[in-house]
Structure 1
Amino acid sequence: MRRTLQRLPFLLILQGLGAAAMFAPAIHAYQLRYLHTARSFFYSGIVFLILFAFLAVALGTRGREGSTRAQLTGLVGALVLLPLMLAVPFREALGDAYIGNAWFEMISCLTTTGATLYPGEGQLPPTLHLWRAMVGWMGGLLFWVSALAILAPLNLGGFEVVATDLTAAGRTALRERRAVRPGERLRRYAVRLAPIYAGLTLILWIGLALTGTSGTTGAILAMSTMSTSGIVPGGWRGETILPEMLIFVFLIFGVSRLTFRNDFINRERGVLLKDPEIRLAAILVVMVPAFLFLRHFLGSIENEGQDDLGAAIQALWGATFTTLSFLTTTGFESSSFEDARFWSGLPTPGLVLIGLALLGGGVATTAGGVKLLRIYALYKHGAREMGRLVYPNSIGGSGSRGRRLRREGAFVAWIFFMLFAIVLAVTMAALTLAGLGFEEAMVLSVAALSNTGPLADVGGGAPILYADQGLAARVILAFVMVLGRMETLAIVALFNRDFWRA
């Protein structure tokens, strides 16, 4: 049986796991006496498990396991095709006659974007919110594992920059791990990372329960925090600061891969403090809230609210929490940050949040965006070039690792950044042709490409509803979510002839 499962296509294994996961919301709906919803998930789970068994019998005797190229194509196929299966119980439970809405909802969750067509309170039963969070959580785990097992050996997903910053021992370890068979490598990382991912989610869930958060809401928040999907129950707003403080701690796992594993780099004392992604994130989490707090403070002077110390502290905390949330492309907005609007009389600075989402989190994490390591490589290259303008004959220093990061690392980071900008411009043009205005097209394009769906609520002058967009716009956004999750370099690799010859 084990050898048969090892030979199954990657996409089929994901299909089986998705079918098995449908029984959890079936039990949840039954406990809440949403019997139609329970039947929808239970019957769908049985049907798709039977289909998985038939396909496993048919394909399990085909021979050797797939290559890394096959796993990459399977990953892309999973992001497009798997949501069709995941959407079936969602559609049946909701009674929506158009499956395209459920497909958009599931592709948004699986890519950890978190965009939704049903944002209002009471539009969805609690079980469907739980299913959305579960799909997002499974998508986050999928990319935690795939980043190291599939993208790293191909020097994709940010590892094209990481490879230039490794020591000789690290490069040797990387070559050794690439030599392992693709299927074995995928299983190895799944076994190592899944307990960490699930354990952190469970700890956060228990912590939220201790703060008074209900069981279902706490589970949804815990899963959406670890997956950086930003999925919340309809109309939910935090009532106290304690849940936000807990979530803030666990959002740090979206900043750097070194927070949950060493990833080919020899661990030394204080390695987290030396990590460029963590240092860059710390600078942003300090400077951006300071700017936002000063902005609200100046606004409060005009509204004669400068003597309200409690409101000032809430505004500072709200800005700090919201900054880290959008930097990791989660998209939670602090309730304290919303209160700061009334204190200062100023709206949310959407352009700042758009910039944070574009920067994104760490390489090999569940966060989207350009990624902090690429930004750091471009910064080091720019600082060196500015120094050469003043001292043309100076020596850069920092050793061979620093020189590789400033040259090869910055070069591939610049290529990715330009591809990212081109895709963003093309998406905006396509959405404009689909009937959207410039501001709506810009906000939704950034939200989809950076996998920060909640950005639509705060990025523009007024909240933008995905449900108000036409069919063409939704299809464009859905495929851009996949492109943003896979990253443009991985998609370009699929069209490279040398990639298929290797």
Structure 2
Amino acid sequence: MTGRLLTFPLILILTGISALVMFLPMIDALFRSDTSVARAFGYSGFLGLALVLVVGLAMSGRPRRDESDLQNLLSLFLAYLFLPVFLAFPLYEGLETTSFLNAYFEMLSCFTTTGATLFDKPGRLMDSLHLWRGLVGWFGGLLIWISASAVLAPLNLGGFEVTASAEPGQGDTRLDRFQRASSGKRLEQITMQLAPIYIGLTGILWIMLMIGGDRALVALIHAMSTMATSGISSVGGVQNGVSGVGGEVVIFLFLLFSLSRLTFSSDTVTTARPSILEDPEFRLGMVLVLGVPLLLFLRHWIASFDVDEVQNLGQGLRALWGSLFTVLSFLSTTGFQSADWVAAQQWSGLGTPGLILMGLSLVGGGVATTAGGVKLLRVFALYLNGRREMERLVHPSSVGRASAGSRRIRRKGAFIAWIFFMLFAISLALVTVVLSALGEDFERATVLAISALSTTGPLTTVAAEEPIRLLGMTEAAKLVFCAAMVLGRLETLAIIALFNPGLWRD
């Protein structure tokens, strides 16, 4: 039955799953005696299932054929564009005080794990609606986690192009080896492999946060947001939670999964290494996680001479922890802010510039994880290439000491990584210019563009001098921001691959 189900388009399967998930907030709303919200989710879920059933019956008579990798990529792109329309209906009907565009914006932000919210005013949303936001973000993280291996990896996209021998957007099938499994079979196998891990880790984190003192709903949303790196919260962030430093430590440990896929799997070319300590993504990520806070701590320590706070060791340690947690959170494009992040500024008397957080978000996490950004593997490829070029400046006739895989990353991988950087820079400049033309000043437009393209929504509240109220943006600016979120989640190379003539010739 599963094999027959996977013959249908991916967007139809995702719509059916979304309709089923709507019954969870409905049950929660019923327990809270909020009948209007329960009706909104119940009606939307039943209508969605009916629509999927009708479309499925209409397509059931066609000859069975497996979807190609490019067709799955197209379905994934269409899902990010149009599935939030369906997801927005219960939010729009349940809230009753917002426009449908705002509801679509919110759902697209959650589904792409961006986490930028229009409803930042406390008490604006009921708990059941917060649960829906968390669920959508969590399933969006699971989708991109599975799609990275089942859809993007076979096409050498999403960071896999750095280590692959084929061109981006094209498969690397070799006739002298075993035939690759069909896309449907591969999707089924990877889902069965990754979904239990994802669900299990979320459940463990949920229980640990509840032990730390958080309410069940708050702990669940923070657990789902951590695994999906979406930064969604029902209380304005983990700094407002009851679990305190203990909860932040637990979240910090689980955020390490976003630095490298080798933390839980070793079935891809990019992570075929014997130990996680030898994985370049994880090592580079830990250098940033430890190095940037130490530099900030040193800067704060020097500045503390002017405010006579050198002897306050306790506040200094709090400032160091706040920097560690916040740096990892923004490097993983989650965007949680430590409760001690402000203590670092108070300890030294200086404000920490948001430019550092924007830079970390642009770097992003590991390949085939839920994190967004440029990806650590591409940064590592450019580092290898730059180091080799500097060696050749000193010794032009030298021969590089590296394995075949490292040479491939340093040469072809660095070239493709540089192309991606240029495409990312062009996208960033284009989004910034368009937002500026729509009425946003340059600073706000830059923060908004980086926030959308790196899928780090909380940047809008911490990167600028004053928090950016997304609700006050014009409708045209919201639509541009939505397009940038889709572009940042799927990446420019993946969208360019959709122009492959083979996809449209079929």
What's the TM-score bracket when you normalise by the shorter of the two chains? over 0.9
Matching residue of 1:134: 135
Instruction: Please list the CA deviations of residues 305-355 of structure 1 after superposition, one character each: whole Å capped at 9, or x if unmatched.
Output: 222211111100000000000000000010011222222222232000000
The answer on whether the counterparts of 1:29 and 1:35 sit within 8 Å (CA) in structure 2 is yes
Q: 1:172 to 1:344 in 2, by over 3 A?
A: same
Q: 1:177 to 1:129 in 2, by over 3 A?
A: farther
Matching residue of 1:312: 316
Instruction: Please list the CA deviations of residues 250-269 of structure 1 after superposition, one character each: whole Å capped at 9, or x if unmatched.
Output: 00111111112112359888
> In the TM superposition, what is the alpha-carbon distance from 1:500 to its structure 2 partner?
5.0
* Aligned partner of residue 335 in structure 1, secondary structure: coil
Identify the range of structure 1 (146-155 vs 456-465) with the bigger mean alpha-carbon deviation.
456-465
> In the TM superposition, what is the alpha-carbon distance from 1:176 to its structure 2 partner?
6.6
Match for residue 297 of structure 2 among 271, 293, 296:
293
Matching residue of 1:25: 25
> In the TM superposition, what is the alpha-carbon distance from 1:51 to its structure 2 partner?
1.1
The answer on whether the counterparts of 1:381 and 1:406 sit within 8 Å (CA) in structure 2 is yes
CA distance in 2, matches of 1:123, 1:433: 31
Match for residue 375 of structure 2 among 352, 371, 377:
371
CA distance in 2, matches of 1:444, 1:264: 33
> In the TM superposition, what is the alpha-carbon distance from 1:488 to its structure 2 partner?
0.3
CA distance in 1, matches of 2:159, 2:176: 17
> In the TM superposition, what is the alpha-carbon distance from 1:448 to its structure 2 partner?
0.1
CA distance in 2, matches of 1:72, 1:201: 27
CA distance in 1, matches of 2:175, 2:464: 43
The answer on whether the counterparts of 1:493 and 1:499 sit within 8 Å (CA) in structure 2 is no
CA distance in 2, matches of 1:435, 1:106: 24
> In the TM superposition, what is the alpha-carbon distance from 1:417 to its structure 2 partner?
0.6
Instruction: Please list the CA deviations of residues 425-477 of structure 1 after superposition, one character each: whole Å capped at 9, or x if unmatched.
Output: 00000000000000000000000000000011111111111112111111001
Instruction: Please list the CA deviations of residues 376-402 of structure 1 after superposition, one character each: whole Å capped at 9, or x if unmatched.
Output: 000000000011000000001212212
> In the TM superposition, what is the alpha-carbon distance from 1:60 to its structure 2 partner?
2.2
> In the TM superposition, what is the alpha-carbon distance from 1:66 to its structure 2 partner?
1.7
Matching residue of 1:62: 62
CA distance in 1, matches of 2:441, 2:104: 25
Identify the range of structure 1 (101-110 vs 239-248) with the bigger mean alpha-carbon deviation.
239-248
Instruction: Please list the CA deviations of residues 202-248 of structure 1 after superposition, one character each: whole Å capped at 9, or x if unmatched.
Output: 00001111111110000000000000000011434245100000000
Letter in 2 for 1:312: G
Letter in 1 for 2:319: A
Matching residue of 2:169: none
Matching residue of 1:168: none
> In the TM superposition, what is the alpha-carbon distance from 1:496 to its structure 2 partner?
3.1
Identify the range of structure 1 (263-272 vs 58-67) with the bigger mean alpha-carbon deviation.
263-272
Matching residue of 1:273: 277
Q: 1:498 to 1:384 in 2, by over 3 A?
A: farther
Matching residue of 1:51: 51
Q: TM-score, normalised by structure 1?
A: 0.95
Matching residue of 2:39: 39
Unpaired segments ≥5 residues, structure 1: 166-170
The within-5 A match list for 1:138-217 is: 138-163=139-164, 179-217=180-218
Q: 1:267 to 1:257 in 2, by over 3 A?
A: closer
Matching residue of 1:219: 220
Q: CA RMSD in A?
A: 2.0
Letter in 2 for 1:138: F
1:464 is aligned to 2:468:
yes
Matching residue of 2:350: 346
Q: TM-score, normalised by structure 2?
A: 0.94
Letter in 1 for 2:298: L
> In the TM superposition, what is the alpha-carbon distance from 1:498 to its structure 2 partner?
5.4
* Aligned partner of residue 288 in structure 1, secondary structure: helix
CA distance in 2, matches of 1:29, 1:107: 22
Matching residue of 1:325: 329
CA distance in 2, matches of 1:241, 1:222: 15
CA distance in 2, matches of 1:491, 1:175: 30
Letter in 1 for 2:460: A
Matching residue of 1:410: 414
Identity rate, percent: 51
The answer on whether the counterparts of 2:112 and 2:137 sit within 8 Å (CA) in structure 1 is yes
Letter in 2 for 1:90: L
The answer on whether the counterparts of 1:362 and 1:373 sit within 8 Å (CA) in structure 2 is yes
Letter in 2 for 1:149: A
Number of aligned residue pairs: give it. 497
Letter in 2 for 1:433: A
Unpaired segments ≥5 residues, structure 2: 167-171
CA distance in 2, matches of 1:174, 1:325: 43
> In the TM superposition, what is the alpha-carbon distance from 1:70 to its structure 2 partner?
1.2
* Aligned partner of residue 455 in structure 2, secondary structure: coil
Letter in 2 for 1:272: I
Q: Where has structure 1 moved over 6 Å in runs of 4 or more?
A: 171-178, 266-269
The answer on whether the counterparts of 1:120 and 1:234 sit within 8 Å (CA) in structure 2 is no
The answer on whether the counterparts of 2:137 and 2:228 sit within 8 Å (CA) in structure 1 is yes
The answer on whether the counterparts of 2:110 and 2:136 sit within 8 Å (CA) in structure 1 is yes
1:420 is aligned to 2:424:
yes
Match for residue 246 of structure 1 among 250, 268, 277:
250
> In the TM superposition, what is the alpha-carbon distance from 1:177 to its structure 2 partner?
8.3
Matching residue of 1:231: 232
Matching residue of 1:125: 126
Instruction: Please list the CA deviations of residues 115-172 of structure 1 after superposition, one character each: whole Å capped at 9, or x if unmatched.
Output: 000112111111111111100000000011111111111111111013259xxxxx89
Matching residue of 1:447: 451
The answer on whether the counterparts of 2:293 and 2:327 sit within 8 Å (CA) in structure 1 is yes
> In the TM superposition, what is the alpha-carbon distance from 1:86 to its structure 2 partner?
0.4
CA distance in 2, matches of 1:92, 1:203: 33
Instruction: Please list the CA deviations of residues 45-91 of structure 1 after superposition, one character each: whole Å capped at 9, or x if unmatched.
Output: 11111111111111122222322111110000000100000000001
CA distance in 2, matches of 1:353, 1:266: 27
> In the TM superposition, what is the alpha-carbon distance from 1:296 to its structure 2 partner?
2.3
> In the TM superposition, what is the alpha-carbon distance from 1:104 to its structure 2 partner?
0.2
CA distance in 2, matches of 1:188, 1:307: 57
The within-5 A match list for 1:352-363 is: 352-363=356-367
CA distance in 1, matches of 2:51, 2:37: 21
1:400 is aligned to 2:404:
yes
The answer on whether the counterparts of 1:118 and 1:234 sit within 8 Å (CA) in structure 2 is no
Identify the range of structure 1 (456-465 vs 101-110) with the bigger mean alpha-carbon deviation.
456-465
Letter in 1 for 2:232: I
